[in-house]
Chains A and B, each alone.
Chain A
Amino acid sequence: MEQKPTVLPKRTELHMARSMCWHCQSEVTGEYFCEQCVKVQPLSKELDYFTCLGLPRLLNIDLEALEAKFYTLSRSFHPDFYHNKTDSEQAISLGNSALLNIAYRTLKDPIQRAEYLLKLEAGSAKDIRTSPPADLFEEILALQEDLEEYRQAAPSQNQAALEPLKAKLASDREQLEQRQREMELRLADLFNAWDLLHAQAESAPVDDRLRKERETILKGLRELLSNRTYLRNIITDLVAVMA
């Protein structure tokens, strides 16, 4: 699905890509149902997840409100309630429910939400990182040496001789997890920065400064997200080896 990046939306409007009811051909003014014939309308394929769930494109989300909206829309769209309806309506209900479920899952999780926002705003999703991020280089190198040593020693040696190595790996893990926590904090900062920018763009004309700021935040997000994934994989590996 191709998504058009917005140049900082002035306000989130609910734009359905259609304007005519598929059933009675009257102009659709209602949100999800035709006001003339009360038939359910298909959600546009271009509809982004934020719009689908009636949310502005912010990174801090009120999860309670998100859930409430999801439940309300589920009651509107779920196939259970279209059992006695026509085939066309059943097909729409199925498609809308599927889109809604995916939208909700994506936005509920902060990381998936941020990744999705990046895709919307900057075109592509995350980079897949294969080499360690610069500021983690030393730690990762040290860890890899320790891990290698442990892998070679573990099958042959007795448990007592392994203890110092184990302790070292445990402290490596501790350090990495500390870095992970730092990353979460920085991520939270970026979330706030994005939302603040969003608010500024709503109340003032979008100028070069805002545009530049937007680029910086998105770049920061992208980098942080890929570093985070990298680090998480390393820790998962470490835990697996030690188990």
Chain B
Amino acid sequence: MARILGIDLGTTNSLIAYMDGKTPRVIAGKQGRAMVPSVVAMTDNGLIVGDPAKEHLVRNPERTIYSVKRFMGKSLADVSDELKYFPYKLHEQGGVIRIQVGEKTYSPPQISAMILKELKLRAEAHLGEDVRGVVITVPAYFNDSQRQATKDAGMIAGLDVLRIINEPTAASLAYGLQQKTQGTIAVYDLGGGTFDISILKLKQGIFEVLATNGNTHLGGDDFDRTIIDLLLHEIRAESGLDLSQYADQMQALRLEAERVKIRLSDDVKTQATIELPEGKGTFRREMTREQLEALVSDLIERTLSPCRLALKDAGLQPSQIDEVVLVGGSTRMPLVRQRVQDLFGKVPHCELNPDEVVALGAAVQADILSGGTQDMLLLDVTPLSLGIETMGGVMSPLIRRNTTIPTSAKEMFTTYVDGQTSVDIHILQGERELAKDNRSLARFQLKVPPLPAGVPRVEVQFLIDANGILNVTAKDVRTNQTQSIEVKPSHGLTDDEVERMIGESFKFAAEDLKARQLIEARTEAEAIRKATEKALGLGGHLIGPEETRAIRASLESLTAASAGEDHRAVRARIADVEKTTHHLAEVLMDTSLKEALQNKKLEELP
């Protein structure tokens, strides 16, 4: 059985992990970082993903896509109030957001697919085998459209998405594996773009989710925005500049806001520094943790009512939670920890790396699917009630939120008019009374034989599978014939579109690979150039002038090759530099070894 991998497809960062025996491990890239920033840059030289793409945020803002997860399974109207924060252009087609980059448009699943492919390549390089089967995590509070969009992304990336699992539950798998905990735990997951709370019962290897709640549009991005808004305002007051008119400066401002926020998790004050355009110099401002906390306090408060609702649905008091587990980068904020601690009345756990734990859990679930891990089983729930629109625009619920999945419901349909040949069905998800206040998932037409009103009987089964994704089937009760239904998603790609995108993605794969190899080679060339300069600075006096000249010459040819388009040429020059500097490296190693030994002796003296 082929290996299955686990992927955390995050708003800000994505990771891929696999099971190494009984231990899940994340796969790091060449630079040793496991996190791949969820950023995609469409440069003239092709597609770049991850850390190198991040550099293009400021250089190339209109062509560099980030936080695309916020748009998955959404319409333009859903995100209208945050459009001003994004430098790239969005429009809508067929109920699905499209991102405009130059002449081309991309759907959010296509962009996500680019990130997934990057992860796939990384894993293939590391494991030395083809990767196809994956488990991908999504926020627990993702609705059907958002889950389906994630599955589409996987297909476009040429992956076989064997399971979609919820991020907090994935985290609980990794956590449970390590801690061998029994009892009731709450997983509080606050990432870059989404918030989830899940309450689980862990008993004898069964991870039973009792209730889940959340907000798929609340996370670290929103914290950053409070700082951005404040600084925009102050810059305007001080210099009269409206920075929001400058796409590149806005990106610089956004990145600085995030850095300020992150620094204030460790320090109680820091400085924000922003270069202004139009020769207006530099804007500097001191910011304290207290000020940041005042800005984000309401946002953090908004995570607490979902927690209370989840507790209520689970039928538990905060004091009945045995352990609280923190997941997601934003839980590093002291105020977040404090609020969570106040709510549950106990110190939350954060021993596991909150950045990696979701991917690790996905790898555990992947191992369960491939038959490796057999003693653990995850029983998850559907986060939102599912229903259909009935007379008068009312939502009639069929499956209640927090029902264990898989689950199903049956509904019998008939006709109101003699000879009627079809019945329109509108599927909804949400907790509100009126159809229009809930999420429209899909519509379909049920075919019925032309008979007197009330005589036809068509039974429709709504089945939510273990991925939390809806499947609809229909059966004519009188003839016992099943009917295939074409469900038209309200905010999703059609099957044909997905097919087409898979095709396109293969076509571009070859070009992308070349661009990517070039970028990697260039990055490595730059690193080796810096290291060599440093070595020359440290040990230039220890080698002869002839040797120094040779090294300089090899560096120059490396720089020249890097400016070209041939990654093989760059690689050849890198090898050349390595060869030329071999002796210098040895010399340096010797001296530093000697120094180290000397230091050691000194320290050992009484």
Least distance between A76 CB and chain B CB atoms (Å): 11
A residues apposed to B, CB below 8 Å: 1, 67, 71, 74-75, 78-81, 83-84, 94-95, 97-98, 101-102, 104-105
Least distance between B210 CB and chain A CB atoms (Å): 11
The residues of B that contact A75 with a CB separation of less than 8 Å are 206, 377
Q: What are 12 A-B pairs at a CB distance below 8 A? A: A1-B410, A71-B204, A78-B379, A79-B406, A80-B368, A83-B369, A83-B370, A94-B465, A94-B466, A95-B408, A98-B408, A102-B408
The residues of A that contact B405 with a CB separation of less than 8 Å are 101
Q: Are B370 and A74 in contact (CB under 8 A)?
A: no
Least distance between A89 CB and chain B CB atoms (Å): 14
Query: Which of these, A80, A95, A101, A104, contacts B378 with CB under 8 Å?
Result: A80
The residues of A that contact B408 with a CB separation of less than 8 Å are 95, 98, 102
Query: Which of these, B371, B403, B406, B407, contacts A84 with CB under 8 Å?
Result: B371
The residues of B that contact A80 with a CB separation of less than 8 Å are 163, 365, 368-369, 377-378, 466
Given A74-B379, A75-B377, A80-B377, are A97 and B406 neighbors across the interface (CB < 8 Å)?
yes
**In the assembly, what is the distance between CA of A75 and CA of B163, in Å?**
18
**In the assembly, what is the distance between CA of A67 and CA of B465, in Å?**
22
In the complex, whether B162 has a CB less than 8 A from a CB of chain A is: yes
The residues of A that contact B410 with a CB separation of less than 8 Å are 1
In the complex, whether B1 has a CB less than 8 A from a CB of chain A is: yes
Apart from A83-B369, A102-B407, what are 16 other A-B pairs with CB-CB below 8 Å?
Answer: A71-B206, A74-B206, A74-B377, A75-B377, A78-B377, A78-B379, A80-B163, A80-B377, A80-B466, A81-B371, A81-B377, A84-B1, A97-B406, A98-B406, A101-B405, A101-B406
Beta-carbon contacts of B452-468 to A below 8 Å, as 1s and 0s?
00000000000101100
Q: Are B1 and A105 in contact (CB under 8 A)?
A: no
Of chain B, the residue at the smallest CB distance from A71 is B206
Q: Are A83 and B162 in contact (CB under 8 A)?
A: yes
The residues of A that contact B404 with a CB separation of less than 8 Å are 101, 104-105
- Could you tell me which residues of chain B, from 158 to 200, have a CB within 8 Å of some CB in chain A? 162-163
Least distance between A156 CB and chain B CB atoms (Å): 28
Of chain A, the residue at the smallest CB distance from B400 is A105
**In the assembly, what is the distance between CA of A101 and CA of B408, in Å?**
9
**In the assembly, what is the distance between CA of A71 and CA of B378, in Å?**
11
Query: Which of these, B162, B203, B369, contacts A71 with CB under 8 Å?
Result: B203
The residues of B that contact A95 with a CB separation of less than 8 Å are 408
B residues apposed to A, CB below 8 Å: 1, 162-163, 203-204, 206, 365, 368-371, 374, 377-379, 403-408, 410, 463, 465-466
**In the assembly, what is the distance between CA of A168 and CA of B221, in Å?**
48
Query: Which of these, B206, B371, B407, B465, contacts A79 with CB under 8 Å?
Result: B465
**In the assembly, what is the distance between CA of A97 and CA of B379, in Å?**
10
**In the assembly, what is the distance between CA of A83 and CA of B368, in Å?**
9
The residues of B that contact A67 with a CB separation of less than 8 Å are 203
**In the assembly, what is the distance between CA of A1 and CA of B406, in Å?**
19
The residues of A that contact B163 with a CB separation of less than 8 Å are 80
Of chain A, the residue at the smallest CB distance from B403 is A105
**In the assembly, what is the distance between CA of A84 and CA of B369, in Å?**
8
Given A75-B377, A94-B465, are A83 and B371 neighbors across the interface (CB < 8 Å)?
yes
Q: Are A101 and B368 in contact (CB under 8 A)?
A: no
The residues of A that contact B203 with a CB separation of less than 8 Å are 67, 71
Of chain A, the residue at the smallest CB distance from B369 is A83
Least distance between B147 CB and chain A CB atoms (Å): 16
Query: Which of these, B1, B370, B403, contacts A101 with CB under 8 Å?
Result: B403
Of chain A, the residue at the smallest CB distance from B376 is A80
Residue of B163, B206, B405 contacting most chain A CB atoms (<10 Å)? B206
Nearest 9 CB-CB pairings of A with B: A101-B404, A98-B408, A98-B406, A83-B369, A79-B466, A97-B406, A71-B206, A98-B407, A101-B407
Least distance between A95 CB and chain B CB atoms (Å): 8
The residues of A that contact B379 with a CB separation of less than 8 Å are 74, 78, 101
Least distance between A240 CB and chain B CB atoms (Å): 14
**In the assembly, what is the distance between CA of A78 and CA of B163, in Å?**
13
Q: Are A94 and B463 in contact (CB under 8 A)?
A: yes
The residues of A that contact B365 with a CB separation of less than 8 Å are 80
Least distance between A104 CB and chain B CB atoms (Å): 7
The residues of A that contact B403 with a CB separation of less than 8 Å are 101-102, 105
**In the assembly, what is the distance between CA of A104 and CA of B404, in Å?**
9
The residues of B that contact A105 with a CB separation of less than 8 Å are 403-404
Least distance between B433 CB and chain A CB atoms (Å): 14
**In the assembly, what is the distance between CA of A98 and CA of B466, in Å?**
9
Of chain A, the residue at the smallest CB distance from B371 is A84
The residues of B that contact A94 with a CB separation of less than 8 Å are 406, 463, 465-466
**In the assembly, what is the distance between CA of A105 and CA of B403, in Å?**
8
Of chain B, the residue at the smallest CB distance from A102 is B407
Least distance between A96 CB and chain B CB atoms (Å): 9
Of chain A, the residue at the smallest CB distance from B374 is A81
